[in-house]
Amino acid sequence: MLGTAALAQTQTVNVTTTAVPFLRISSDARASGMGDVGIATSPDANGMFWNRAKLPFAKSDNSIAVTYSPWFRDLGLNDVYLASIAGYHKLDDEQVISASVRYFSLGNIQFADANGNLLGSSMPREFGIDFGYSRKLSEQLGIGVALRYINSSLASGDPNNSGVIYKAGSSVAGDVSLYHIAPDTTKSYFTWGIALSNLGSKISYTNDANNKDYIPANLGLGAAYKARLDRDNSITFALDLNKLLVPTYDSATASTYYTQSVFSSWFKSFNDGSNQLTSWTVSAGAEYNYDNTFFIRTGYFYENKYRGNRNYLTFGLGLNYQNIGINLSYLVASGYVTTRNPLSNTIRIGLNFDLANNGSKK
């Protein structure tokens, strides 16, 4: 007992930070209602954010999804938000092409010097555009790949008169993923998925070429089980594990943190001197489905207290009518000011539109 207590007291907070963290914010109201779980859940147009390999197994041949997520609504801000649009098209029974756009507005920011003198204002924003291809490798296994362009404009010029010239940062990244589904989905069945996302170049915001930041490369592992209660009722239980493929920064690694290559940093993230058991986040969720028409969802997201301490409970509802679906999610406020989620007490809204089939067989 004494040894355990001493170890806990000596462990320090070691949060992994990256540029463009908006790439890891859920842009899916359905998944957000389930604790941000989505790697192995049933496919829809938002599946490309979690796992593009799911898309060849989608029921609809063409679909579009639009999501709006207010940001810091708890503080009364109205100009900070995340918006996204995503869509896919089945070329045939085995191949799918897809694309999405994510836009993050950070509102209006007023700059001032040390004496409080106003130096001007800026409206920082970030966006990502990606295109992807997915195909079935067999009747149970799918693969997905994507290429993404990222642009982040947080400041420009020298707003603080410090001699540092700021500019918009840009990066190119890719995703690769797998998805496996059971051969018989008319009964209760199990699915799993693996997703590597945002594997790409560093990003720089200044004229200092040696000071580039990592983007949020990520390894995700997911599993889901759909229990069919009867012809019209089912419950899905899902679990995702996610780890940023970015090394932590501390005094021991400061000399090599910025100089190592992106490729080596992915492996370094597993051996950077930090406790690897604490570096994984856990998302767990459940979804009740009545006749593919009405959905009730809940979930929980866990992050170790030494890695950021983001822990929250979520709830969600969904309704499908003909070819239109609406999803709502709510994140319950929790934590102190320093760990409070920007989406606390916020309702996220998503719309899905399933378009006319192209004749592919189901």
Please check whether residue 243 lies inside any domain of the structure: yes
- Over residues 245-304, the pLDDT tens digits come to 998 876 556 667 778 889 888 988 898 777 888 899 999 999 999 999 999 999 999 999
Q: Which two tokens stand for residue 302?
A: 């866990």
Domain span holding position 175:
21-355
- Which whole-number Å values give the CA distances from 147 to 28, 174, 331, in the listed order? 20, 4, 31
Average pLDDT, the chain: 86
Q: How many domains does the chain have?
A: 1
Mean pLDDT (whole number) for 117-139: 87
d(CA 276, CA 237): 26
The dihedral over CA atoms of 102, 329, 341, 192, expressed in degrees to the nearest 10, equals -70
Burial 252-274 (b: 16+ CB within 10 A, else e): ebeeebeeeebeebbebbeebeb
Partnered with residue 324 across adjacent β-strands are: 321, 353
- Over residues 183-208, the pLDDT tens digits come to 999 999 999 999 999 999 999 888 76
The dihedral over CA atoms of 87, 91, 92, 97, expressed in degrees to the nearest 10, equals -50
Please check whether residue 51 lies inside any domain of the structure: yes
In this structure, are strands 346-354 and 233-244 parallel, antiparallel, or unpaired?
unpaired
In contact, 317 and 327? CB cutoff 8 Å: yes
- Over residues 45-59, the pLDDT tens digits come to 998 899 999 999 999
Please check whether residue 128 lies inside any domain of the structure: yes
In contact, 43 and 58? CB cutoff 8 Å: yes
Q: Is 277 exposed, middle or buried (0-12, 13-18, 19+ CB in 10 A)?
A: exposed
- What band does 31 get if pLDDT is binned at 50, 70 and 90? very high
How high is the pLDDT of residue 115?
A: 64
Please check whether residue 14 lies inside any domain of the structure: no
Give the H/E segment covering residue 268.
helix 262-268
How high is the pLDDT of residue 246?
A: 92
CA end-to-end span of the chain, whole Å? 58
Contacts of 18 (CB under 8 A, 6+ apart): 213, 214, 215, 216, 244, 246
- Over residues 214-257, the pLDDT tens digits come to 999 999 999 999 999 999 999 999 999 999 999 887 655 666 77
Please check whether residue 2 lies inside any domain of the structure: no
User: Does the structure show a pLDDT above 80 at 7?
Assistant: no
Q: Give the E-state strand segments of 45-182 in sequence order.
A: 62-70, 80-90, 95-106, 109-112, 118-122, 125-136, 141-153, 169-180
User: Does the structure show a pLDDT above 60 at 339?
Assistant: no
User: Does the structure show a pLDDT above 80 at 356?
Assistant: no
- What band does 338 get if pLDDT is binned at 50, 70 and 90? very low
Residue 30 main-chain phi, psi, to 5 deg = -65, -55
Find the CATH number of the domain harbouring 154.
Answer: 2.40.160.60
Please check whether residue 328 lies inside any domain of the structure: yes
Partnered with residue 33 across adjacent β-strands are: none
- Over residues 38-97, the pLDDT tens digits come to 999 999 999 889 999 999 999 999 999 999 988 766 666 677 899 999 999 999 999 999
Which pTM does this prediction carry?
0.88
Question: Which of 288, 294, 283, 280 has its CA nearest to residue 331?
Answer: 283
Question: Which of 216, 154, 156 has its CA nearest to residue 22?
Answer: 216
Please check whether residue 360 lies inside any domain of the structure: no
Please check whether residue 267 lies inside any domain of the structure: yes
How high is the pLDDT of residue 253?
A: 64
Burial 316-352 (b: 16+ CB within 10 A, else e): bbbebeeeebebbbbbeeeeeeeebbbbbebbbebbb
- What band does 361 get if pLDDT is binned at 50, 70 and 90? very low
In this structure, are strands 312-321 and 294-302 parallel, antiparallel, or unpaired?
antiparallel
d(CA 86, CA 130): 9
